[in-house]
């Protein structure tokens, strides 16, 4: 060590300081490289599982290119994207009248868990069971790819059928006071759900346009017009004239 040429260097302290800085920077680079590596991504298994699910249902192909079903899923903001998309591609709304279709779609936007059981027509009962089974299937598929999802909880969290009867009657022209008697849901929540449902109709209409389903486009337009009436869409008394 005594023969090391550094001992005779007039810039020894400066070089030692520089060497320390280089060592610190190298350690920082190594730390950053680890952070961006696959090994450091704690959510990588979850991410890969979701990619596999999207491949399985046809939203993306093997090269991760977004397909038509994926484009449709991107239009869905009001409800759970996968369930809404599968509902469309399985043509679950095609055999329903506009009033029945918009009533079933209320399950995507209604939030309250515990409500009185709705009294549904046989057609709506079959539609509800079909949509619920689709949600169960999607939950099982995600669980199959090791995502932390319970199929039953997944279906119950994303589909709430408490206002299906109420929305159906509203779309048929029943007065607001009468539909409030059909459920124990507060009036304000009924109004909020129907208003949000109008946005859902627009999303489904846009999705139908992407799919080239003109009949569904027309049906969503009729459904939107059916619920867009009376006190639910009246101008607010607090801001009118401001």
The structure tokens listed for 210 are 């992407």
C-alpha–C-alpha distance, residues 127 and 235, integer Å: 34
pLDDT digits (tens, 9 = 90+) for 19-40: 999 999 999 998 888 777 766 6
Cβ contact 76:207 at 8 Å:
yes
Cβ contact 109:202 at 8 Å:
no
Tell whether the model's pLDDT for residue 78 goes beyond 90. no
Cβ contact 98:121 at 8 Å:
no
Report the share of the chain in percent with pLDDT over 90. 68
- Please give the pLDDT value at position 242: 44
**Torsion angle (degrees, nearest 10) of CA 126, 79, 233, 231:** 50
Among 176, 199, 183, 167, which Cα is nearest to 99's?
A: 167
Among 138, 80, 141, which Cα is nearest to 107's?
A: 80
The more confidently predicted of residues 46 and 161 is: 161
**pTM of the predicted structure, to 2 decimals:** 0.78
Cβ contact 86:140 at 8 Å:
no
Quick one: which H or E segment has residue 235? none
pLDDT digits (tens, 9 = 90+) for 138-152: 999 999 998 999 999
Tell whether the model's pLDDT for residue 7 goes beyond 70. yes
């Amino acid at each position: 060590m005594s023969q090391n040429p550094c001992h005779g260097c007039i810039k020894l302290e400066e070089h030692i300081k520089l060497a320390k800085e280089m060592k610190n920077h190298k350690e920082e680079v190594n730390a950053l490289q680890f952070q961006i590596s696959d090994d450091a991504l704690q959510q990588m298994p979850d991410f890969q599982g979701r990619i596999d699910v999207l491949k399985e249902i046809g939203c993306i192909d093997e090269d991760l290119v977004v397909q038509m079903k994926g484009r449709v899923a991107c239009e869905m903001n009001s409800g759970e994207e996968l369930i809404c998309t599968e509902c469309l591609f399985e043509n679950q709304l095609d055999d329903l009248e506009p009033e029945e279709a918009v009533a079933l779609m209320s399950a995507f936007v209604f939030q309250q868990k515990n409500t009185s059981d709705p009294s549904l027509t046989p057609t709506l009962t079959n539609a509800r069971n079909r949509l619920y089974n689709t949600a169960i299937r999607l939950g099982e598929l995600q669980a199959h790819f090791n995502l932390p999802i319970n199929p039953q909880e997944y279906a119950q969290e994303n589909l709430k059928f408490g206002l299906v009867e109420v929305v159906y009657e509203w779309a048929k022209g029943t007065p607001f006071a009468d539909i409030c008697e059909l459920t124990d849901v507060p009036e304000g929540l009924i109004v909020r759900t129907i208003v949000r449902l109008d946005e859902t109709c627009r999303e489904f209409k846009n999705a139908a346009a992407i799919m080239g389903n003109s009949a569904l486009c027309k049906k969503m337009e009729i459904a939107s017009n059916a619920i867009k009436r009376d006190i639910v869409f009246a101008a607010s008394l607090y801001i009118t004239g401001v």
